[in-house]
A and B are shown apart, each in its own frame.
Chain A
Amino acid sequence: MSSKQAKRAEIGKHTLVVLVLLFAFIPLLITFVISFKSNQQFAVAPLTPTFPLHFENWAIGWETISGYIANSIVISVLAVVLTLVPALLSAFVFARFRFPGKTVLWYALLGLLFMPGIMNLVPLFTLLRDLNMLNSMLALSTLYAVGGQVFCVFVLRNFIEDMPQDLFEAAQVDGASPLQQIWSLVIPMSGSILGTLAILRFLASWNSFVMPLVMLSSQYKQVIPVGLMRLDGEYIKLWGPMMASFSIAAIPLVIIFLFTMRLFVKGLTAGAVKG
């Protein structure tokens, strides 16, 4: 291959990738542009920028959905903590200990990975109702935590088993209890995998929409996806504020992403987490 040809091929690849990226980003751009329009401006020119920019749309949007965002943050953070802490503990036990019934218990957990969540929805609803836990944000977090539990235990067990086992024995001789081993060995050494799992679980909780729709009845406890859906369902749409709300809804994720981008790109690309 001559260098000229190689260069042309290279440019071709870039063009294709950039084109695809453009398509992925255009919706974002349109959302952003519309978020500054009044309804009149939108009726005249829905897609191109118009002046003056209506910054108050963002204020209105913020007012409408800030409550939902706060709820979502509380629920998702709680869900991540409730997922990862027990998952880490039991993954450590599965990786480091042999006890009667281990295999049975392991497969009982693993089997849940193949159970379609859809079958559970109705009985879960009645279960929560009987436990008097409907319309509780904590209960919703617990559901997310249990839903993500098995996957996290699976990934973390593999990770701990791949660590040099000498380390744990050295720590044991040094006098570290299992909890101390987790605290001073597993957590510092599994930073990137824990981080990736945390982000994945956070995203899953953040995006989940049927569960809160079914489980939460109070408007003031509702989460962002349901809030956005209600906003979209209103009869007379205020396009500007609605698109501003859409943009605002992404901000918490943008912030998380900025802090964890490196780790996340690494974690996902390394194939540490598949599916």
Chain B
Amino acid sequence: MARVALENVSKLYPGNVKAVDKLTLEVRDGEFVVLVGPSGCGKSTILRMIAGLEDVTSGTVTIGQRVVNDVQPKDRDIAMVFQNYALYPHMTVRQNMAFALKLRKVGKEETESRIRATADMLGLSELLDRLPKALSGGQRQRVAVGRAIVRQPAAFLFDEPLSNLDAKLRVQMRLELARLHNRLGTTMIYVTHDQAEAMTLGDRIVVMDDGVVRQIAAPTELYDSPADLFVAGFIGVPQMNFFAGTIEASATGVCFRADAGFELPVSAEMAGRLTAYAGKPVTLGLRPEHIGVSESEQRGSGLRIPAVVDVVEAMGSESYIHLHTGNTSFVSRVDAHRRFEPGQECLQAVFVEKAHFFDTATERRIE
């Protein structure tokens, strides 16, 4: 078990393509950290640099107490689970799991007992003598994880391990991985582009874009107070709604004037911070669940904006109502039992306390 630390790590590919730019990240011992971001954001490169499959252009990578920049992958005491599992097709499950141990000259009995324990843990005992091609997708996935576990490494690296599974299996394996981490308590670094996986698995989440870290935070913090527009838009389904506009300060108070035409009074708490932005372009962010939809003016506090329903997506437990006002469209998330028709005009409430404001120029959140 060990901490993994990256300090000012950069990666340049030939032709001066910057994959990772001055990244600093510390993964504490026993922590489960998820790297998430759109494809091509450099998250896989980071994982491969930790594993030693890619050279570091500048900066240092530390595993435990040791700087491993010039250490071969096999000597870094890490195990990696690959996206396509990378099971050796000509070896049985048992041989696959024993391969690394054999290369490390671990004794026969020790190897066998480790394999048996791991197979029990993952429910692979019956499959030990099968070849990978005789396994289902989920089983292969489990073998890939098992192959990492028998190594008893200081840290596990996962490179989008669930992306080749179907949706149902993915949810199930996600749970198993979480359970596994609770049980082993080993440092785990996990790369995915799926934010649901990131939110459910990670102790902390690293959101990346274009080789740069946007925010490192626990899942709830990430959701509740995203650091910038990118994180706000990336985390959460459906996406957060954004309205461009300006801040207007007057004697009666501070309010946000949207380009779409409505005005939103700002809560007293936010007003102090926002006065500095008076007259400047600002983006308002509202989560879909914080926009209520009502036909009458009976309930709710805050502002009401007239809007027209475009599409209704019924998800079963809830519905996503796509609306527009002027030429700005947005989404609201409401209880599934309320009925709306496309073309219907309605008014919706906005919960001002939950509004996020972003500086349009820097894209940072105003707090």
Taking Cβ atoms with an 8 Å cutoff, the residues of A that contact B are 164, 166-167, 169-176, 180, 184-185, 188-189
Is B104 located at the chain interface by the 8 A CB criterion? Answer: yes
**Which of A164, A184, A189 is close to B86, meaning CB atoms less than 8 Å apart?**
A164
Is B53 located at the chain interface by the 8 A CB criterion? Answer: yes
The complex places the Cα of A172 from the Cα of B151 at a distance, in Å, of 14
Q: Are B53 and A169 in contact (CB under 8 A)?
A: yes
Given known pairs A188-B90, A189-B90, the reply for A174 and B84 (CB within 8 Å) is: no
The complex places the Cα of A174 from the Cα of B78 at a distance, in Å, of 9
The complex places the Cα of A184 from the Cα of B100 at a distance, in Å, of 11
Name the A residues within 8 Å of B83 (CB-CB): 166
Binary interface encoding of chain B residues 331-346 relative to chain A, with 1 for a CB under 8 A from any of its CBs, else 0 = 0000000000000000
Is B280 located at the chain interface by the 8 A CB criterion? Answer: no
Q: Which of B78-131 contact A (CB under 8 A)?
A: 78-80, 82-86, 88-90, 99-100, 103-104
Q: Are A167 and B53 in contact (CB under 8 A)?
A: no
The complex places the Cα of A166 from the Cα of B81 at a distance, in Å, of 10
The complex places the Cα of A67 from the Cα of B351 at a distance, in Å, of 98
Chain B contact residues, majority secondary structure: loop
Report the minimal beta-carbon distance from A170 to chain B, rounded to whole angstroms: 4
**Which of A173, A185, A189 is close to B80, meaning CB atoms less than 8 Å apart?**
A173
Q: Are B90 and A174 in contact (CB under 8 A)?
A: no
**Which of under 10, 10 to 19, 20 to 34, or 35 or more describes the interface residues of B?**
20 to 34
Which residue, B78, B86, B104, B151, has most C-beta atoms of chain A within 10 A? B86
Name the A residues within 8 Å of B74 (CB-CB): 172-176
Name the B residues within 8 Å of A167 (CB-CB): 86, 88
Q: Are A175 and B103 in contact (CB under 8 A)?
A: yes
Report the minimal beta-carbon distance from A174 to chain B, rounded to whole angstroms: 4
Name the A residues within 8 Å of B64 (CB-CB): none
The complex places the Cα of A185 from the Cα of B87 at a distance, in Å, of 11
Q: Are A173 and B84 in contact (CB under 8 A)?
A: no
Given known pairs A169-B53, A172-B73, A173-B51, the reply for A180 and B86 (CB within 8 Å) is: no
The complex places the Cα of A189 from the Cα of B78 at a distance, in Å, of 26
Q: Are B104 and A189 in contact (CB under 8 A)?
A: no
Q: Are A173 and B53 in contact (CB under 8 A)?
A: yes
Name the A residues within 8 Å of B104 (CB-CB): 175
Closest to A166 in B: B86
Q: Are B90 and A164 in contact (CB under 8 A)?
A: no
Which residue, A169, A175, A185, A188, has most C-beta atoms of chain B within 10 A? A175
Name the A residues within 8 Å of B51 (CB-CB): 169, 173
Name the A residues within 8 Å of B99 (CB-CB): 171, 174, 176, 184
Report the minimal beta-carbon distance from B319 to chain A, rounded to whole angstroms: 42
Report the minimal beta-carbon distance from A164 to chain B, rounded to whole angstroms: 6
Name the B residues within 8 Å of A171 (CB-CB): 88, 99
Q: Are A169 and B90 in contact (CB under 8 A)?
A: no
Closest to A163 in B: B89
Closest to A164 in B: B84
Binary interface encoding of chain B residues 281-309 relative to chain A, with 1 for a CB under 8 A from any of its CBs, else 0 = 00000000000000000000000000000
Name the B residues within 8 Å of A166 (CB-CB): 82-86
Which residue, B103, B147, B151, has most C-beta atoms of chain A within 10 A? B103
Which residue, A166, A174, A175, A185, has most C-beta atoms of chain B within 10 A? A174
Given known pairs A188-B90, A189-B90, the reply for A174 and B82 (CB within 8 Å) is: no
Which residue, B51, B73, B147, has most C-beta atoms of chain A within 10 A? B73
Closest to A188 in B: B90
- Leading 8 A-B pairs by shortest Cβ distance: A175-B74, A174-B100, A166-B86, A170-B86, A175-B103, A188-B90, A166-B82, A173-B80
Report the minimal beta-carbon distance from B158 to chain A, rounded to whole angstroms: 12
List 5 A-B residue pairs with CB atoms under 8 Å apart, sorted by A's residue number: A169-B80, A170-B147, A172-B52, A174-B100, A184-B88
Q: Which of B51-73 contact A (CB under 8 A)?
A: 51-53, 73
The complex places the Cα of A169 from the Cα of B51 at a distance, in Å, of 10
Report the minimal beta-carbon distance from A182 to chain B, rounded to whole angstroms: 13
Closest to A180 in B: B103
Name the A residues within 8 Å of B82 (CB-CB): 166, 169-170
Report the minimal beta-carbon distance from A263 to chain B, rounded to whole angstroms: 16
Report the minimal beta-carbon distance from A96 to chain B, rounded to whole angstroms: 12
Name the B residues within 8 Å of A180 (CB-CB): 103
